[in-house]
Chain A
Amino acid sequence: MSHALRTASGGRINRSRTVRFTFDGRELSGFEGDTLASALLANGVHLVGRSFKYHRPRGVLSAGPEEPNALVQIRRDAARVTPNLRATEVELYEGLAAQSQNRWPSLQLDVGAVNSLLSPFIPAGFYYKTFMWPRRAWQWLYEPRIRAAAGLGRAPAQPDPDSYCNRFAHCDVLVVGAGPAGLAAAHAAAESGARVILCEEQPQLGGSLLSEQEPGEALGEGEWLARTIQGLMTHPRVTVLTRTTAFGYFPHNLLGLEQRLTEHLAQPDPRQPRERQWQVRARQVVLATGAIERPLVFPGNDRPGIMLAGAARSYLNRYGVLAGRRAVLVTASDEAYRSALDLHRAGATVAAIIDVRPQASGELAEAARRAGLPVHTATTVIGTSGRLRVKSIRIQKLDAQGRPEAAAERIVCDLVLMSGGHTPSVHLFSQSRGTLHWNEALQAFLPGQSPEKARCAGACRGIFSADAARRDGQSAGALAARDAGLAVGTVISAPRLLETDGAAAPGQLPQPAGRPAAKAFVDWQNDVTSRDLSLAAREGFRSIEHVKRYTTTGMATDQGKTSNLNALGIVARQMGKAIPEVGLTTFRMPYTPVTFGSFAGYSRGELFDPVRTTPIHDWAVRKAAVFEDVGLWKRARYFPRNGESMHAAVTRECRAVRSGCGLFDASTLGKIEVVGKDAVTFMNRLYTNGWTSLAVGRCRYGILLRDDGFIYDDGIVARIAEDRFHVTTTTGGAARVLAMMEDYLQTEWRDLGVWLTSTTEQWAVIAVQGPSARHVLEGLVQDADLSAAALPHMSVAPGRICGVPMRLFRVSFTGELGFEINVPADFGSAVWEAVYEAGQPHGIAPYGTEAMHVLRAEKGYIIVGQDTDGTVTPDDAGLAWAIGTRKPDFLGKRALERPAMRSPDRKQLVGLLSAEPHVVLEEGAQILPDARATPPTRPIGHVTSSYYSATLGRSIALALVRAGRKRMGQTLYVPAANGNLPVQVVSPVFYDPKGSRQNA
């Protein structure tokens, strides 16, 4: 056991439970209750990582979520590798395997550290300035090198085998943070009758009190912490969530919480979810998120062994670990003296206390002097030494003008503690769009007003002492309960802000003039120095948001928790402005990184997106159909037989329809039942066509425009009764057409008596198409006459098929004699199979969407969304005949009268035949008027649909071409890989232009 730096007693660790772990393969041990960071420090390990840009050796800086240096990768197995975890938050478990990051070949000897020698050549904005030329070098030199050099840690090579879950919750009061303020707030709110959720990122409740030797003492009374925790854990109205980070504050008091369920376990049950993401909607929110200690910026402030003063105190009091044996404290506030005093009491040597303030006369400073600790006031730090661990610190006393007052002094040490005061954690408050205001005495931004129902309590609003924070929390909790509508008794008044405990002005510690100082780091994780920031300001960056992006300060995974304010101070000084004039960069979620797994939750694999299938789907699966996704629908694309290629299958399926009979599942078509006394008026206003004259039992091809005159949807509309229309829409348009109908009905034409019902999933639609279609159906249909006289093209009749009630449409999207059988969805599969059986003597073949596309293109029928793109009018598409010109109004009518909509130069739908009949043009290909045209040139149109037509023995295409109808017979050109391909402009109807087949 080599816990060389473990104290003999004390702390909140369980000394009877030894936990073994490895760091970079080295076997070490700690105690139950340790974090990885505390266990490493107990073993004397300070060097834990290499910095991002210069690969400088780095140690543990903090003891919490703000940690910028000690990022490690934890590996459980090949699929469970998590990079960039903060060692200060990783709970130790038996067998934990941690690795340092961003070093090669090893942490002690890192080749990338050569960047540190090159650092004069890697200033701020280096990436923007250097990798500019030659452009081609990006591909083979710069980008691969930068990618190899960048990035912290490695992603696992296998898919994540763990499960993640989501939960929605509501409460009266959500309290974020379980330090003295948060605990008191939760308690007061619950006692007032509120349903409370208390969330805390640490495994234990207590917050800063956990780092006190005697938490009760800190509060001025004993046992408060234990009593309060006990009360909350057993309270029926309180839900306590530990290991749970509130990572985001969203509008209307919705907070995102990430609860880590198994990360701390040595052998997690693989059936247990790894994380749970909560979305909590709270009537009232109390933010008790505490404060983060601010580092000091001085030359050489990044060596392992240099850490925040409060962190060293946490390691000592909470984990029983001495972070070093010979410490120097550098401070600008009284509070940090506690760290020196505690280390002194625990047996460490405090070699010096460097106080940058002119005087240090507070109670704690006096206590330090009484304890014999040497206090140097009006003194600054001008450098440090030590490669893999700090060895000494150089200090310099300054006079009132900032000039050296005595010779510089070197103090040997193995630990440097620093404290520039505390920065209230206003991240969540700011995410709620709360305003912040600058407090000069505390040198910090404090929360002001939030538009949300939120209030802050304790250190996050500048109330730093534990006792005051507790009273502040108690007041905030009761007020939150009151504002949530609960009857509350007397509310204690909140403590006043004490502005006595000074803090260093953010920025760099004063340095004697003319001295070329070593690097003074501001952002440890992104390796941004004070010099980088000054340079950015000198180069003319004025907005702090621009400085941030240029220097990358605050842009690492820690989001600048320890660095933003110091960066702001340096930039403000360089610009000669006050900090609040320069302003603050925006706080964004997440507070600490959140896994993708927790966002995905259950939405993985089969649950990623809903899948819609038709009643005939299973039959198609049995027939080995190849499916395609159309929106959420699975549609059979083609039915290959005996290993046919798609081309062979589609050719065969098209032939079957043209020569015998094909069977097509059209169930995905959108269907809307439009019913009511004003149904025909409604249809007249909505669709371009005239509907008054449509007789019951007849169908019409309808076009729906937006009010801007462009085609929105199309489909067959049948009049079932005087007051009832059966409207079909495109598969993809069903929902938006219904929404548009509802919109007009509910908001514009509220006087119309019309009801709309989606019947898409209530009808199975079986299209039977081809010259033999009538013969196939004859034996199956009852109560309906299939003859051309009784049921001509574009008509509909009720009836029964196989005993099932149906609506039988005589319609065709193929150009052949065709029927579309609509039966209740539950009978779809049985009727389909009956038709398939009845069609066997006629060589019936099921066909998929691919053959359907070819067949309709041969007839020049458009598909909305493929041959139109939201800028196509009915006339452009050759559908002017479908416009009821005598109607006074319909959606889009007025827009169609604009001059631009009537221009003869608009793009119009035409057919194209390529000069080489076996070449199928590419859909989307541009069309040029000139064979010799080379880029740059202006195309006059594009190909919208293109197929090989087996029926015609050649390729065909539909296209939108400027003034296309005037160009019939002309030769145009389509750019292809081997030159511009000549194409002839023809009618878009390639097959049976007179329509005699469908009227058969």
Chain B
Amino acid sequence: MLLINCPYCGERPELEFVHGGQAHIARPGNPAECSDQQWAEYLYRRDNIKGVHAERWRHVHGCGRFFNALRDTTSDQFLATYKVGEQPPAQPRKATA
């Protein structure tokens, strides 16, 4: 069970959160202008990264807020969590142990 640092509440066990998929995928501002291919990419294409991955979490059984996180998928260590709208912090080279 991961220990997740909610940017609003602090460290809480994973039980209080739900995972929200890959982060930083903005809904196209004008969908009508998207080609079918572009729309399909937006809907379905996701990265499957071995390494540092930006993902969404929601502290559903806490403050209810969505936020983003950088997690190393090889070690499950979080490099950072940050609020919606913020840029991901510069990535350290390696997950800290």
Contact = CB atoms under 8 A, between A and B. Distances in A.
A433 interface: yes
B2 A889 contact: no
Interface in B19-53: 20, 26-27, 30-32, 34, 36, 39, 43
A279 B2 CA distance: 12
A151 to B, nearest CB: 32
Contact of A894 (B31, B60, B76): B31
B73 to A, nearest CB: 12
B39 to A, nearest CB: 5
A252 B43 contact: no
A131 B84 CA distance: 58
A889 B3 contact: no
A708 B43 contact: yes
A895 B43 CA distance: 9
Given A451-B75, A708-B43, A742-B66, A281 B3 contact: yes
B77 A707 contact: no
B64 interface: yes
Contact of A451 (B26, B27, B95): B95
B40 to A, nearest CB: 8
Interface residues of B, number: 30
A453 interface: yes
B97 interface: yes
Nearest to A742: B64
Interface string B53-69: 00010101000111000
Interface string A387-405: 0000000000000000000
Contact of A450 (B13, B66, B97): B97
Interface string A611-626: 0000000000000000
A166 to B, nearest CB: 12
Nearest to B38: A894
B3 A743 contact: no
A251 B20 contact: no
A251 B2 contact: yes
Interface string A713-746: 0000000000000000000000000010011001
Contacts of A750: 84-85
A898 B32 CA distance: 11
Contact of B58 (A279, A451, A707, A739): A739
B90 interface: no
Contact of A898 (B1, B18, B39, B65): B39
A451 B39 contact: no
A584 B44 CA distance: 37
Interface residues on A, range: 20 to 34
B75 A894 contact: no
A748 interface: yes
A451 B3 contact: no
A889 B3 CA distance: 39
A225 B74 CA distance: 41
Contact of B2 (A252, A449, A739, A742): A252
A139 B42 CA distance: 50
Contacts of B72: 451
Contacts of B3: 251-254, 281
Contacts of B36: 898-899
Interface in A170-229: none
B84 to A, nearest CB: 5
A911 to B, nearest CB: 32
Nearest to B36: A898
Contacts of A450: 97
Contacts of A433: 75-76
B39 A743 contact: no
Contacts of B30: 889
Nearest to A745: B66
Given A252-B1, A252-B76, A743-B20, A889 B31 contact: yes
Interface string A423-434: 000000000010
Contacts of B2: 251-252
B58 A251 contact: no
Given A252-B3, A895-B43, A451 B76 contact: yes
Given A450-B97, A452-B97, A894-B31, A747 B56 contact: yes
B1 A894 contact: no
A742 B58 CA distance: 10
Given A252-B2, A894-B34, A743 B66 contact: yes
A250 B1 contact: yes
Given A452-B97, A747-B66, A888 B56 contact: no
Contacts of A251: 1-3, 76
Given A450-B97, A451-B77, A895-B43, A746 B34 contact: no
Contacts of A281: 3, 13
Contacts of B26: 748
A748 B27 contact: yes
A700 interface: no
A712 to B, nearest CB: 14
Contacts of B39: 894-895, 898
A692 to B, nearest CB: 19
A480 to B, nearest CB: 13
Nearest to A254: B1
A453 B56 contact: no
Contact of A453 (B31, B32, B74, B97): B97
Contacts of A453: 97
Q: From A433, A450, A893, A894, name the one whose CB has the most chain B CB atoms within 10 angstroms.
A: A894
A449 B75 CA distance: 12
Contacts of A279: 1
Nearest to A890: B31
A16 B58 CA distance: 62
A529 B66 CA distance: 55
A888 B29 CA distance: 11
Contacts of A889: 30-32
Contacts of A893: 31
Nearest to A744: B27
A894 B32 contact: yes
Contacts of B58: 739, 742-743
A742 B65 CA distance: 8
Contacts of B77: 252, 451
B71 to A, nearest CB: 10
Nearest to B94: A451
Contacts of B95: 451
Interface in A874-900: 888-889, 893-895, 898-899
30 contacts: A250-B1, A251-B76, A252-B76, A253-B3, A279-B1, A281-B3, A433-B76, A449-B97, A451-B72, A451-B76, A451-B97, A453-B97, A708-B43, A739-B58, A743-B20, A743-B58, A746-B66, A746-B84, A747-B56, A747-B66, A748-B26, A748-B27, A889-B30, A889-B31, A894-B31, A894-B34, A895-B39, A898-B36, A898-B39, A899-B36
Given A252-B3, A254-B13, A452-B97, 10 more contacts: A252-B77, A254-B3, A451-B74, A451-B75, A451-B76, A451-B95, A708-B43, A739-B58, A893-B31, A895-B39
> What 5 A-B pairs have minimum CB-CB distances, sorted nearest first?
A451-B75, A894-B31, A252-B3, A251-B76, A746-B66
Interface of A: 250-254, 279, 281, 433, 449-453, 707-708, 739, 742-743, 746-748, 750, 888-889, 893-895, 898-899
Interface of B: 1-3, 13, 18, 20, 26-27, 30-32, 34, 36, 39, 43, 56, 58, 60, 64-66, 72, 74-77, 84-85, 95, 97
